[in-house]
């Protein structure tokens, strides 16, 4: 029963990883940018949700669309004002730019919010469902998992059923061909980055309801989302969901033996997947 509880905790924890990775994968897959500031946007999403809850009394789950819109606008203008100027730059240059953005966001958060650890505690934070006599299902973590699944479904629907989604998909497959068919690459990139950062903000909203946070958590979250993408496979929305759940389960089981094992085991699996199946466990086969 103890291991079953670990399994459930891992699945629920993996929902946050999946939500963060979903947005990371979108930006990387379409724009070929590895956003080193991704975890810091998640961190800012947690602080934004805290402010809405503390000063405006907006429930964290009700604040999801508000947070998404705020971070979509933020991401859109960062892409328009900064990253669009580097479209033809090397991968190293984009890494340096996103690292600089991460540095600004992290230290700006320290100045505004201080380095103190904070959290979002609601009236239902400690509530859980009983499954039998031994298994508990925390309401907040379960709700966060449902949000991750719903957003993965909606994003997949958007990409496959809308004209804008088709343009984004075409851009991710062949930038030059998409441009020849009249797609405005700079606008598409700005929208994609906006959606990606919007989803990162939502991931931060969910993270803040589940775990304590401070301005320094960003780098660790970026690494975790990168591992999830490698596990699930780039270019697969549901692969990000699968990879997040898998990482959550692995870490929960490893933590049962020793809290320090979680990171070690996750990195070992990360390296093994890179060696054995670089496309990711749920990644698609390349066309012959």
d(CA 243, CA 234): 10
The whole-number pLDDT of residue 33 equals 86
Instruction: Kindly tell me the burial class for residue 123, based on how many C-beta atoms sit within 10 Å of its own C-beta (0-12, 13-18, 19 or more).
Output: exposed
Q: C-alpha angle 61/254/117, rounded to 5°?
A: 45
Name which of 123, 261, 130, 138 is nearest 210 in CA terms: 138
The whole-number pLDDT of residue 275 equals 83
DSSP secondary-structure letter at 260?
Answer: T
The whole-number pLDDT of residue 2 equals 60
Q: What is the mean pLDDT of each run of 10 residues along the chain (288 residues)?
A: 77 88 88 91 97 96 97 96 79 89 96 95 89 82 90 90 92 86 90 96 95 94 89 73 87 82 83 77 50
> Domain residues of the chain, as ranges?
2-276
Which residue stretches of the chain are H helix? 2-31, 38-55, 64-81, 91-113, 139-161, 163-173, 175-180, 185-210, 218-232, 237-257, 261-276
d(CA 193, CA 161): 20
d(CA 288, CA 286): 6
pTM of the model: 0.91
The whole-number pLDDT of residue 267 equals 84
DSSP secondary-structure letter at 84?
Answer: G
d(CA 17, CA 21): 6
Q: Does domain 2-276 have CATH number 3.30.70?
A: no
The whole-number pLDDT of residue 288 equals 35
Q: How far is CA 190 from the centre of its chain?
A: 18
The whole-number pLDDT of residue 180 equals 83
Which residues on adjacent β-strands are paired with residue 135?
131
């Amino acid at each position: 029963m103890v291991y079953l509880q670990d399994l459930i905790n891992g699945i629920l924890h993996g929902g946050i990883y999946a939500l963060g990775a979903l947005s990371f994968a979108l930006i990387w897959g379409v724009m070929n940018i590895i956003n080193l500031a991704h975890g810091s946007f998640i961190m800012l999403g947690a602080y934004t949700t805290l402010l809405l809850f503390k000063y405006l009394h907006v429930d964290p789950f009700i604040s999801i669309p508000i947070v998404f819109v705020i971070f979509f606008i933020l991401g859109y203008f960062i892409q328009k004002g900064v990253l669009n100027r580097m479209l033809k730059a090397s991968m190293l240059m984009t890494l340096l730019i996103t690292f600089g953005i991460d540095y600004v966001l992290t230290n700006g958060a320290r100045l505004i919010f201080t380095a103190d650890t904070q959290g979002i505690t609601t009236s239902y934070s400690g509530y859980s469902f009983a499954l039998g006599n031994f298994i508990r299902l925390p309401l907040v973590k379960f709700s966060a998992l449902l949000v991750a699944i719903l957003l993965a479904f909606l994003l997949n629907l958007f990409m496959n059923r809308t004209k804008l989604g088709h343009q984004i998909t075409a851009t991710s497959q062949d930038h030059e061909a998409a441009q020849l068919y009249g797609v405005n690459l700079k606008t598409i990139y700005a929208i994609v980055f906006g959606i990606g950062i919007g989803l990162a903000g939502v991931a931060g909203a969910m993270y803040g309801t589940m775990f304590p946070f401070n301005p320094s958590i960003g780098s660790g979250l970026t690494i975790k989302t990168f591992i999830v993408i490698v596990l699930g496979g780039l270019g697969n929305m549901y692969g990000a969901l699968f990879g997040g759940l898998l990482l959550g389960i692995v870490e929960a089981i490893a933590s049962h033996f020793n809290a320090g094992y979680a990171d070690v085991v996750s990195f070992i699996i990360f390296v093994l997947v890179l060696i054995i199946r670089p496309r990711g466990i749920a990644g698609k086969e390349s066309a012959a």
